[in-house]
Amino acid sequence: MPVMVAQYGDSQKSCDSLKFEMTNVQSEIQRLLPKRDKTGKNVALGVAGWFLLVPWFFMDFKNAEAQEYEAFRQRYNHLATIAIDKKCGVTPQEFMSIQQMQIEYEKAKKEEERNRKSSND
């Protein structure tokens, strides 16, 4: 069951409470990112991900993981908005949506195909 984006009492939280919860949500997001099906493509991207975090964004999510990731991403953004409104001095991290990841993956795939074709010519 995904986390609720807006929870009772969010707007009354102190800056320290907001920062603490944002850190916890970030940890949950990071926990979800490396979890993937172990297909050949994902294993290759996962190995590359140890050296460059970006490839992890192109790995396939399972449906439940995608829903959970999206809920945590929206929760984080909600808390960040409250923290910014309260002038808590936070600089929120931006997490791509599942749709953005898919678009970036398709772009990277097309670019790789173009590079492969141009190197073969």
- Residues 72-109 have pLDDT tens digits of 999 999 999 999 999 999 998 888 888 888 888 888 88
Reduce the DSSP state of residue 7 to 3 states and report it: coil
Sequence-distant (6+) residues with CB within 8 A of 71 are 2, 3, 4, 5
Average pLDDT of the residues of the chain: 79
Q: Which of 57, 56, 37, 60 is nearest to 48 (CA)?
A: 56
Q: What's residue 48's pLDDT?
A: 45
Domains of the chain, residue spans: 10-120
